[in-house]
Amino acid sequence: MTTTAHPATTSCTALAGIGPLFPVVFCGYLALGLPLPALALQVHDRLGFSAVAVGWVVGIQSLATVLTRGFAGRLTDTRGPKLGALLGLPLAAVAGLLYLASEAVAGRPGLSLALLLAGRLALGPAESLFLTGTMAWGIARLGPARTGRVMAWQGIGIFGALAVGAPLGLAVMERYGFAAVAAAAALVPFLGLLVALAIAPEAGIPGQRLPFRRVIALIWRQGVGLGLAGVPFAALAAFVSLDYAAHGWTGAGLALSGFGAGYIAMRVFFAHWPDRFGGARVAAASLAVEAIGQAVLWAAPNAGVALVGASLTGIGFSLVFPALGVEATRRVPPQSRGLAVGGFVAFLDLAIGLTGPLAGFLAAGFGFPSVFLAGGAACLLAILTLVGQGGAGRQG
């Protein structure tokens, strides 16, 4: 990243500065969102594995991501953020190719599952690189004073892609099969790569950098709050399609779209709230709404009510990331901002990675709705975590 603000910071709006990066983020996460609900159906219905296996296939990607956040952050801080995007997007395409290979050997379920897991493992560092890269790239273009805006608009790209990708992936699978979903997941990242290549790079910031463990020590409270807030999203992504199928409902893709729509609406209209009311306060209120959404999903008697619960979950989760993210990045020097972004998001990766298999055990023992009850409990625990953050909100 540069040592001074990008010219766009003083002459253009925040949207103009973030705009060129938006399709990069969108395409990267579309490669994640397209196969997400299709993977659950492929593993459970086509290959015949249990809900626990579904949880591992979905969750192992985040466990792989968390192990590479430190590397991605150091690369971003030293070599500039553009390189992260240029390395991560092609690696995301490799994941799609492994999905495609898995479908080719679907008659051998064990091998097919192994290839799906390999694809998810490849997607872990891919996401780590292009998310950390684009996030730090946006901060470099707009300046650190607009970190919250950067995180808010990057989040619109992320969950907009997930909201579009989920129903699109299910529709493609129903019409053309899992192979078509895998092929699309392999092609989409190259569209983002073409855009990234055309955007001017930002250099790394010179100076002494903190060790990754020191960065984590400075931001762990914010990270834990984010991680617990991410549990409902992980539960929703992994099991909502199976929950709908178990109830005999249609429109599982709409539930993820409802989550994304609620998430995006909050980012568009209320992204300034963390700066105005304080990060911890906004995060706590958001977590309460998220917990209510999970409770509605758990008790939903029909698909319409479930859609309301999913939408409330998205509304609640939306502002947790920028509210706590601003506080996390302010706790480190500029030379370690990429590491802070990577470390902060690593808590979310870890939570999502653990939620998949643990929720799978819950679903196997108590039914699919139980994973949403657990998601609501995680939100309440996150609120308790924020109580101990003292002046975090006042700094935001």
pLDDT in tens, 228-250: 999 998 888 778 888 898 889 98
Query: How many Cβ atoms sit within 10 Å of the Cβ of residue 246?
Result: 14
CB 253 within 8 A of CB 167: yes
Three-state secondary structure call for residue 87: helix
For residue 5, name the pLDDT band (cuts at 50, 70, 90): very low
What's domain 15-204+211-395's superfamily in CATH?
MFS general substrate transporter like domains (1.20.1250.20)
Report the pLDDT value the prediction gives residue 392, as an integer from 0 to 100: 39
Q: Please list, in sequence order, all residues whose beta carbon lies within 8 angstroms of the beta carbon of residue 155, skipping any fewer than 6 positions away.
A: 263, 267, 318, 321, 322
pLDDT of residue 396: 34
* Mean pLDDT on 355-379: 88
Least confident of 2-11, 43-52, 289-298: 2-11
What is the structure's pLDDT at 16?
A: 64
pTM, 2 dp: 0.71
**Would the CA dihedral through 128, 220, 395, 208 be positive or negative?**
negative
Tokens 């092929």 belong to residue? 183
Buried b / exposed e along 167-198 (16+ C-beta atoms within 10 A): bbbbebbeeeebbbbbbbbbebbebbbebbee
One-letter amino acid identity for 260? G
Please report, as a single letter, which amino acid is at residue 53.
Answer: A
Percentage of the residues of the chain whose pLDDT score is greater than 90: 32
Mean pLDDT across the stretch 5-30?
69
Give the residue carrying structure tokens 């984010």: 226
Average pLDDT over residues 37-56: 86
Q: Is the pLDDT of residue 1 over 70?
A: no
Cβ contacts of 210-216, under 8 Å, gap ≥ 24: 210/332, 210/333, 210/335, 210/336, 210/339, 212/70, 212/73, 212/74, 212/339, 212/343, 215/73, 215/332, 215/336, 215/339, 215/340, 215/343, 216/343
Assign 258 to helix, strand or coil: helix
Angle at the Cα of 259 from the Cα atoms of 257 and 265, rounded to 5 degrees: 95
Q: Please indicate whether residue 24 or residue 325 has the higher confidence score (pLDDT).
A: 24
pLDDT value at 312 more than 90: yes
pLDDT: which is higher, 209 or 92: 92
Where is pLDDT greater, at 166 or 320?
A: 320
In the numeric block, the tokens 């792989």 are attached to: 64
Region 13-39 average pLDDT: 83
CB distance 39 to 238 below 8 Å: no
The pLDDT of residue 8 is 41
The confidence score (pLDDT) of residue 64 equals 84
Give the Å distances, CA to CA, from 356 to 66, 234, 370.
14, 7, 13
Q: By three-state DSSP, how is residue 62 classified? A: helix
Helix (H) or strand (E) holding 276: helix 273-277
Rg (CA), the chain: 19
Question: Quick one: pLDDT at residue 104?
Answer: 92
Q: Tell me: pLDDT of 360 over 60.
A: yes
User: What's the confidence (pLDDT) of residue 393?
Assistant: 38
* pLDDT given at position 332: 81
Q: What integer pLDDT is reported at residue 2 of this predicted model? A: 38
